A and B are shown apart, each in its own frame.
Chain A
Amino acid sequence: MSHLLTNYYEAASVILFGIGFMNLLLQNNLIKKFIGLNIMDTATYLFLAAKGYVFGRVAPILTNGIIDKDYYINPIPAGLVLTGIVVSVSVTAFSLALVLRLYKHYNSLNMDEILRMMREEEGE
């Protein structure tokens, strides 16, 4: 338990991941599904960023001309997260465009309802 309190960022990020994942999996409403996707992605990035942090060190940008590995935090997670954010904004835009098209054709945001309508049309 005390571990969870020291690793509070990691703990929070897996909780957020769980919430986001279940939103993506189980929400019927498409917009909330994709908000869930975003929460899930940011949770992963929070986890990664927390892994790079070291107490008492500063951001990895040269300050006062000090070149010392024990002065800055680990730059790798920040770079990976930066890449990840780009990916998730692309996926978000794409998914919302899909939502727009679906609404145009089916007048609904409910995935189950849309699937049902599609099946009914095919059945005819």
Chain B
Amino acid sequence: MSENKSFWQRLKSWIDGDEILIDADKYISTRERKERVPMEKAVTMERLRSNSTLYRVLCVAITVVFIAVMLRVVVDLPMFGDPGSITNNEVGQRYLEQGIEETGAINFVAGMILDYRAFDTFGESNVLFMAVIAVLMLLQRDKKNISAAEDQEMAEDEVFDSQDSKLILKKGAKCLAPVVILYGIYVVLNGHLSPGGGFSGGSIIGAGLILYSAANGQKKMQTFFTIKTLTRISVACLLTYCGCKSYSFFTGANHVGWEIPKGTPGAILSSGFILPLNICVGLVVACTMYGFYALFTKGEV
């Protein structure tokens, strides 16, 4: 086991298997010693950052170079607002000229995202759902995620909220919340007729819910809106979405026919699946937005 064994002796003992431990030990210990090196290297970056003038100058320089390259690209691009630009091709034309006939929506954007390119939009509502689940996982209070200081702070907030110090603000918010929610519902229901749709309307409803919760305290909100309601509404809406789209993708791809009646363009009950889908998206978004707010403030819905 001396250090100065020849290579062949060590190989032989390695094959025999009797001195593996010593060699492995040596290996590990040399590697242990080397391990400090990358840490010191990483510190130099921090030292660079602490030297703030140099660091700032470097940041600005990199930004300027990046922007210069990108501006060079922009110079080449088609002119802004040019009707002959390549983006105004047959794809957009069909959306505009046959959109009403094929989707029934007079808001061409709604027709495009909820019918022609509905797969993207399906992915998009899933992103939202994943985000609210991720935030739930992060902020919902469990045994790995509690601290006494935070409890105390929240108790103080509650006392502060229950005082009537912001009476005018609270009364105002109470009056305003229903109006905001109503406007949101209008935007959702008219998604296929006017600007807006599930997403924007849903965020407006969500903002209304946040206002209501801020004015009346989360306790009152919890009487009718808990985490259970949130997940149930979201899951039900997404499942409806999933079902509707599976139906139309399946029938469309297999040329089955059985199309959904489109109704009279311009009427509120028209354009096939677009209205129910807008309602689903709107509900999911409203729940999500309120869920974010509640989890951020209290760590629970």
Give A residues with C-beta under 8 Å from B. Answer: 3-4, 6-11, 14-15, 17-19, 21-22, 26, 28, 50-55, 57, 59-62, 67-72, 74-80, 82-83, 85-87, 89-91, 93-94, 96-98, 100-101, 104, 112, 116, 119, 123
Contact = CB atoms under 8 A, between A and B. Distances in A.
Interface residues of B, number: 66
B108 interface: yes
A7 B79 contact: yes
> What DSSP secondary structure best describes chain B's contact surface?
helix
A68 B108 CA distance: 12
B66 to A, nearest CB: 5
Nearest to A15: B67
Contact of A112 (B49, B77, B108, B131): B49
A11 B135 CA distance: 35
A87 B123 CA distance: 10
A77 B95 CA distance: 12
B59 A22 contact: yes
B74 A75 contact: no
Given A8-B80, A80-B120, 15 more contacts: A4-B75, A7-B80, A15-B67, A18-B63, A60-B95, A60-B108, A67-B96, A67-B97, A68-B96, A69-B93, A76-B92, A79-B112, A94-B134, A97-B139, A112-B46
Contacts of A112: 46, 49
20 contacts: A11-B71, A14-B67, A15-B67, A15-B71, A22-B59, A50-B80, A51-B87, A54-B82, A54-B83, A60-B107, A61-B107, A61-B194, A61-B195, A75-B95, A75-B96, A77-B87, A82-B113, A86-B124, A90-B128, A100-B139
Contact of B109 (A19, A79, A90): A79
Contacts of B106: 61-62
Nearest to A59: B195
B71 A79 contact: no
Contacts of A14: 67, 70-71, 73-74
B145 interface: yes
The 4 nearest A-B residue pairs measured at CB: A90-B131, A62-B106, A14-B70, A60-B108
